[in-house]
Amino acid sequence: MNRVQVAPPRRSGFRPPTLQTLSEAVAANVAEIKARTRSTIMAVVKADGYGHGAVTVAKAAVAAGAGWLGTTSVAEASALRAAGLAVPILTWLHPCGIDAEAAAATRVDVAVGSVDELGVLLAQAASTAASAVRVHLHMDTGMSRGGCPRGQWDELTALARRGQQARRIRVVGVMGHLPLADRADPAANAPAVAGMREAWQAVRAAGLGSPLAHLAATSGTLTDRATHFGMVRVGAGLVGIDPSETVELHGASRLTAPIVHTAAVPAGTPVGYAGAYVTDRATHLSVLPVGYADGIPRECSRQAGVEIRGRRFPVVGRVSMDQIVIDTGAESFPAGTSATVFGPGGGATPTIHDWARWAGTIPHTIVTGLGPRVKRSVA
Ligand SMILES: *Cc1c(COP(=O)(O)O)cnc(C)c1O
C-alpha cells in the first residue's frame, strides 16, 4: 500500500494574527468616565467585552473602579463569576429565557421587561430557585426594543410586588435605555429622563422600596448628567469608543498580522479576485493572513491601510475570506514582518475609527466582528 509521505510540521516563527487587549487603556477609560459622573459605573461586557475579551475587560474595569458588570445572559455572567468576579452582575435580553435557578445560585441579577416574562420567572423561581431572584424592572423609555410599555407598568409592578411578598424575587433595580446613543443632545434625552423618573415613582408607589435607577449608556454618561441616576451602564466607552465623539478615549486593542508572502510585480499586474485592482507601477505586494472571516470589512474604501515599520501602506484589491494584499511600493518586507491592522492610534497606525470610516460603519462592528481564528492576548 502506498503511503503519502507528509513532511513533519515545520515550527513557524511567525506570530499569528493576534488581538491584544490593552488593560491599561480600559483602566484609563474608566478614569475618564469616573471624572464625569458621581454615579456607580456598570462595565457592560456583552459580545465578549466588545470583542476585547469579557473577563479581561471586566477585570480591568473593576480594578479601576467599576462597581457592577453587565451582560446579556446569565450564562455569560456565570463565566465572569467563574473567573472570580464577585461584584453585582446584571443581565438583560436573555436569548434563551431566564434560568431562575442559575440566576439565584450565581447571585446574578436579571432584568425583566414584560408581564409575561415576569410571570414565567415567578413560576420558575417557585419551583427551582433556592433564594429570591434579584430583579430589575426594565421599563420602555422610548426605545421600543425591549422593556415594558408604559401602558403595562402598573400591571408589571403589581405582579412584582406579589412576587416579592412571596419571596420569589427581590426588586433591586429599575432600568430604561436611551434611544439616542450617538449624539450629545440633552433636549432629545429629556423624554426618556422624564419616563425614567416616572418609572421609578411607579415602582416606589407599588411598595417596592427605592431600587437603584439606571438609564444611561456611554453617550448619555459622557454628554448628559441628567441621565445618570444611580448608575451608568458603559460598554463602548471601556474600549475607547465614544459614540458621541465628545471625549478622546483610549483605544484598547491592537490587531497585528504577519506578512506571509511578498512578491515584486511589474506595472499592470491585477491583484486578487476579479483583478479589481491593477498595479500602476512596478511595486511590491505583501499578503496578510486576515480576511473577512476574521472581521476585516469586505467593503472598504481605497483609503484602507495598515502600518508596517512606522509607515502606512494601502490595502489593494478585494478583501478575501482569509487574506488581504498590501501594496508596499519600493519597500520589500520579508515574510514574518509584523503589520498593525489597527491600534490605539498615533503615527501611521490606523484606529478602529479609521476602519469604521473606511467601511461606512461604526467602530463597534469592527471590534465585535473579529473572528475566532484571531488569537487573543492581554497587555
Ligand atoms: C449595550 C448596552 C449598554 C452599553 O451601551 P454602550 O453605548 O456600548 O455604552 C447599556 N445598556 C444596555 C441596555 C445595553 O444593551
Atom of ligand 1 nearest to the CA of 46: 1
Give pLDDT, residue 8: 60
Pocket of ligand 1 contains residue 215 by CB under 6 Å:
no
Q: Which of 36, 137, 233, 246 to mutate to test the pocket of ligand 1 (most atoms within 8 A of CB)?
A: 233
Is 59 catalytic? The answer is no
Pocket of ligand 1 contains residue 92 by CB under 6 Å:
yes
Split at pLDDT 50, 70, 90, the class of 7 is: low
Split at pLDDT 50, 70, 90, the class of 59 is: very high
> Cβ(91)–Cβ(42) under 8 Å?
no
Atom of ligand 1 nearest to the CA of 50: 8
* Distance from Cα 362 to the centre of ligand 1, integer Å: 15
Among the listed residues 34, 59, 273, 292, the single catalytic one is: 273
% of residues, the chain, pLDDT over 70: 97
Split at pLDDT 50, 70, 90, the class of 1 is: very low
C-alpha to C-alpha distance for 194 and 189, rounded to whole angstroms: 9
Place of cell 410586588: 161
C-alpha to C-alpha distance for 66 and 232, rounded to whole angstroms: 10
Express each pLDDT in 298-342 by its tens digit: 999 899 999 999 999 999 999 999 999 999 999 999 999 999 999
* Distance from Cα 218 to the centre of ligand 1, integer Å: 7
Q: Which of 33, 36, 44, 238 to mutate to test the pocket of ligand 1 (most atoms within 8 A of CB)?
A: 44
356 has a pLDDT exceeding 90: yes
Cell of 362: 461604526
Three-state secondary structure along 211-270? CEEECCCHHHHHHCHHHCCCEEEECHHHHCCCCCCCCCCCCCEEEEEECCEEEEECCCCE
Split at pLDDT 50, 70, 90, the class of 130 is: confident
Express each pLDDT in 261-297 by its tens digit: 999 999 999 999 999 999 999 999 999 999 999 999 9
Among the listed residues 46, 50, 59, 277, the single catalytic one is: 46
Pocket of ligand 1 contains residue 147 by CB under 6 Å:
no
Instruction: Delineate the domains of the chain, giving CATH numbers in brackets.
Output: 23-239 (3.20.20.10), 253-378 (2.40.37.10)
Residue 82 CA: distances (Å) to CA of 23, 74, 194, 371: 20, 12, 38, 24
Angle at 193 between CA 190 and CA 198, to 5 degrees: 125
* Distance from Cα 262 to the centre of ligand 1, integer Å: 43
HSE, side-chain direction, 13 A CA sphere, residue 312: 15
Residue nearest to atom 13 of ligand 1 (CA): 177
219 has a pLDDT exceeding 50: yes
**Which letter does DSSP use for residue 238 in this model?**
G
Sign of the dihedral defined by the CA atoms of residues 120, 123, 127, 128, in that order: positive
Is 273 catalytic? The answer is yes
Give pLDDT, residue 58: 98
Pocket of ligand 1 contains residue 233 by CB under 6 Å:
yes
Give pLDDT, residue 6: 61
* Distance from Cα 170 to the centre of ligand 1, integer Å: 23
- Average pLDDT taken over every residue of the chain: 95
> Cβ(307)–Cβ(274) under 8 Å?
no
Distance of CA 354 to the CA centre of its chain: 17
Sign of the dihedral defined by the CA atoms of residues 108, 67, 188, 173, in that order: positive
Residue 90's DSSP bridge partners are 70, 109
* Distance from Cα 239 to the centre of ligand 1, integer Å: 13
Decide: pTM greater than 0.75: yes
Pocket of ligand 1 contains residue 236 by CB under 6 Å:
yes
* Distance from Cα 79 to the centre of ligand 1, integer Å: 19
Cell of 61: 474595569
